[in-house]
Amino acid sequence: MPSVVGLLEQRELTARRRVDGLREEADRIHAELEVAEREWNEWVIARSRVGEVLAPDDYVTASEGQHQSAVQRVRPEPAEAAKPKSVVPLWRAGLAWAALSVDYQRILQALADRNRLGQGPLTCQEMAACFGLDPVPGKVEALRSKAKRLVARGWLVESAPGKFTLAKDVAGQDGGS
């Protein structure tokens, strides 16, 4: 007959695997959402540009506000960003940041900027503020999950509980290029 502790460990392992699977699924969906939002914003900008070209001069001044808000919604992305279903690879010398999905690249960039300014580690709550996210538990925990995954794969170091910095060799890459 198995021990109670053994049964509990087995259930804990099953639950942890389920959580990890759901987190990866959430990351995949979030990456797909980013791609869909970017495509949508590109169409908004395209429609606005065509409207400016084809419309009389008074339309151009009326549409400038729409165009500006559309441009602000678009997030610049690296040309060779990882595919939405990608996993975080183990860090190794010469591996570019482009191997990571956009969300992970944003975390690395925020930490690289912080490192460049000599400001030290960054908490997930501070990251949420940097990215313009509401510092609600769901958003902060999603960032924490990503940061912990980057730590596990060698991209980041958790210098103190909840405080993240770039790993030494990753910091030397200066943007992964």
> How many Cβ atoms are within 10 Å of 5's Cβ, its own excluded?
8
- Does 61 lie in the same domain as 8? yes
Q: Check residue 47 and give its pLDDT.
A: 83
- Does residue 64 carry a pLDDT above 80? no
Q: How many domains does the chain have?
A: 2
CATH of the domain at 133: 1.10.10.10
Whether 104 and 64 map to the same domain: the answer is no
Give tens-digit pLDDT for 99-137: 888 888 899 999 988 888 888 899 999 888 888 888 888
**Tens-digit pLDDT profile for residues 143-152:** 999 999 999 9
**172, amino acid identity:** G
Q: Which carries the bigger pLDDT value, residue 68 or residue 117?
A: 117
Asked if pLDDT for residue 28 goes beyond 60, the answer is yes
Q: What is the pTM of this model?
A: 0.50
β-sheet bridge partners, residue 166 = 156
Average pLDDT on 141-166 reads 91
| Alpha helix (H) residue ranges in the chain | 4-54, 57-73, 102-116, 124-130, 137-152, 168-171
Residue 84 lies inside a defined structural domain of this protein = no
- Find how far residue 154's CA is from the centre of its chain: 17
